[in-house]
């Protein structure tokens, strides 16, 4: 029998997951579990590139663990752990830093965006963030990396770093492929549909959190920014409506064509309400499961501890190879 291909992906515990994270990444994580060997992490090491308040940080990380399981990550099929629990991530990141150029890092749009946003804390970690991300992936010799569109550039860099390392030392690291969904790859803010929906947005009406109540979800969709044509169609320049169509497609599984046909002749009011209801219906069972899981800390601990142990074994194999190839003296 063919060996299953391996997936790695991660998400930062910087706050509750948004509909953007869900449609752009996590829906795929869940779908891929049967076909692939999946390794998923809560990227807590990445999160400290932005200042975190310890108590909130700890809470966010555990909440993210619970919501990932509530979304359908199945610990019987996949690994799910905290990045900081497998110390090889930080170790390989250091090494890869030495095979990454300053010029490459300074071209990363996420670095430019985040350093503009956190102008008083442009730390070196924010700059070398992609080397840690490359370490996450290469440590497990992953074949595929499911992410939203915004992470494509980091993934390209990861491939370049792996290629460069292999160019010097032979075939040590598997060069991974990105896996970006056709639907939902970039969910935009409901208030400013030209920028991505982000949990760190200062306007709460711009994003939907996975834990938002049904009324809140409907209210936020009712307020969503659209245009003045009053025609539900997918067309350049209609950013607000295009975004709502993408969300509807992600929530219902219908196609763009089916959606446009369904709302032919109907107003934006009806459409916004339908999108809100579809999203609320999709999220209601997730929220319920999330609350149950969060009340069961022992179970969560069992999941992430066991996963980290298995992950560490895989990580150690790569590290041994890397150390040997580089020429470090053996212990």
Cβ distance 17 to 64 under 8 Å?
A: yes
197 versus 314: smaller Cβ distance to ligand ATP: 197
- What are the φ/ψ torsions at residue 192 (nearest 5 degrees)? -140, 80
Please select the residue that binds ligand ATP; options are 37, 44, 143, 150, rule is CB under 6 A. 150
Phi, psi of 227 (to 5 degrees): -140, -170
Cβ proximity to ligand LTN, 114 vs 272, nearer residue: 114
151 is a site residue for ligand LTN (CB under 6 A): yes
User: Helix, strand, coil % (nearest 5) of the chain?
Assistant: 55, 10, 35
Contact status: 210 vs ligand ATP (CB under 6 A): no
Query: Is residue 49 part of the contact set for ligand ATP (CB under 6 A)?
Result: no
Report the number of secondary-structure helices (H) and strands (E) in the chain. Answer: 14, 5
User: What residue 198 binds from ligand ATP, ligand LTN, none (CB within 5 to 8 A, per partner kind)?
Assistant: ligand ATP
Alpha carbon distances (Å) from 124 to 11, 115, 128: 20, 11, 6
Q: What is the total residue count of the chain?
A: 331
Size of the site for ligand LTN (CB under 6 A): 14
How many CB atoms sit inside 10 A of residue 205's CB? 17
C-beta of residue 10 within 8 angstroms of C-beta of residue 65:
no
To the nearest whole angstrom, how small is the minimum distance from the Cβ of residue 73 to ligand ATP?
Answer: 14
- Phi, psi dihedrals of residue 189, rounded to the nearest 5°: -60, 140
CA distance 84 to 41: 9
Q: How far is the CB of 281 from ligand LTN (least distance, A)?
A: 26
Angle at 76 between CA 311 and CA 9, to 5 degrees: 45
**What DSSP string runs through 99-150?**
TS-HHHHHT-HHHHHHHHHTTT---HHHHHHHHHHHHHHHHTT-SEEE--GG
Q: Of 188, 182, 183, 185, nearest to 239 (Cα)? A: 188
The least distance separating ligand ATP from the CB of residue 50, rounded to whole angstroms, comes to 7
The yes-or-no answer on residue 196 being catalytic is yes
Binder of residue 133, out of ligand LTN, ligand ATP, none (CB less than 5 to 8 A by kind): ligand LTN
- Segment near ligand ATP (CB under 6 A); pick from 85-93, 143-151, 247-255, 272-280: 143-151
Q: Which residues, at least 6 apart from 261, have a Cβ–Cβ distance to it below 8 Å? A: none
Q: Which does 145 bind (CB under 5 to 8 A by kind): ligand ATP, ligand LTN, none?
A: ligand LTN
Residue 178 CB coordination number (10 Å): 16
14 lines the binding site for ligand ATP (CB under 6 A): yes
Determine the 3-state secondary structure of 179 from DSSP. Answer: strand
Nearest Cα neighbor of 47 from 36, 57, 39 is 57
18 forms part of the interface with ligand ATP (CB under 6 A):
yes
Q: According to CB under 6 A, which one of 196, 220, 238, 272 is a site residue for ligand ATP? A: 196
31 catalytic, yes or no? no
Active site residue 114: yes
Candidates 43, 80, 93, 311; binder of ligand LTN (CB under 6 A) is 43
Residue from 147, 217, 250, 315 binding ligand LTN (CB under 6 A): 147
Annotated catalytic residue: which of 152, 199, 222, 254? 199
**Is residue 44 close enough to count as binding ligand LTN by CB under 6 A?**
no
Give me the least distance between CB of 14 and ligand LTN, in Å please. 9
Give the residue with the Cβ less far from ligand LTN, 138 or 218.
Answer: 138
Q: Which residues bind ligand LTN (CB under 6 A)?
A: 8-12, 43, 46, 133, 136-137, 145, 147, 151, 154
What is the binding site for ligand ATP (CB under 6 A)? 11-12, 14, 18, 20-21, 24-25, 147-148, 150-151, 185-187, 196-200
User: Which residues belong to the active site?
Assistant: 114, 196, 199
């Amino acid at each position: 029998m063919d060996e299953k291909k391996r997936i790695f992906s991660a998400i930062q515990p910087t706050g509750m997951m948004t509909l953007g994270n869900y449609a752009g990444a996590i829906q795929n994580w869940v779908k891929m579990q049967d076909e692939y060997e999946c390794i998923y992490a809560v990227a807590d090491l990445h999160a400290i590139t932005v200042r975190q308040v310890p108590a909130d940080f700890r809470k966010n990380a555990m909440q993210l663990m619970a919501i990932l399981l509530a979304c359908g990550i199945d610990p019987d099929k996949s690994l799910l752990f905290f990045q900081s629990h497998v110390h090889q991530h930080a170790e390989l990141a250091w090494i890869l830093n030495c095979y990454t150029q300053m010029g490459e890092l300074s071209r990363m749009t996420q670095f430019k965006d985040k350093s503009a946003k956190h102008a008083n804390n442009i730390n070196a970690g924010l700059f070398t963030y992609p080397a840690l991300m490359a370490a996450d992936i290469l440590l497990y010799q992953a074949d595929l990396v499911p992410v939203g569109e915004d992470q494509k550039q980091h993934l390209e860099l990861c491939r370049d770093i792996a290629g460069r390392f292999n160019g010097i030392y032979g075939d040590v690291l598997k060069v991974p492929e990105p896996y970006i969904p056709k639907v939902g790859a970039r969910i935009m803010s409901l208030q400013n549909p030209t920028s991505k929906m982000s949990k760190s947005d200062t306007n709460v009406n711009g994003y939907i959190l996975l834990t938002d109540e049904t009324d809140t979800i409907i209210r936020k969709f009712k307020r969503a920014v659209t245009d003045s044509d009053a025609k539900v169609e997918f067309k350049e320049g209609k950013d607000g409506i295009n975004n709502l169509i993408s969300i509807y497609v992600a929530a219902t599984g219908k196609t763009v064509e089916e959606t446009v046909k369904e709302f032919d002749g109907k107003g934006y009011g009806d459409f916004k309400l339908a999108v809100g209801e579809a999203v609320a219906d999709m999220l209601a069972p997730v929220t319920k499961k999330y609350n149950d899981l969060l009340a069961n800390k022992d179970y969560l601990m069992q999941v992430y501890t066991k996963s980290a142990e298995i992950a560490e074994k895989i990580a150690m194999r790569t590290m041994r190879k890397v150390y040997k190839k580089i020429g470090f003296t053996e212990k």
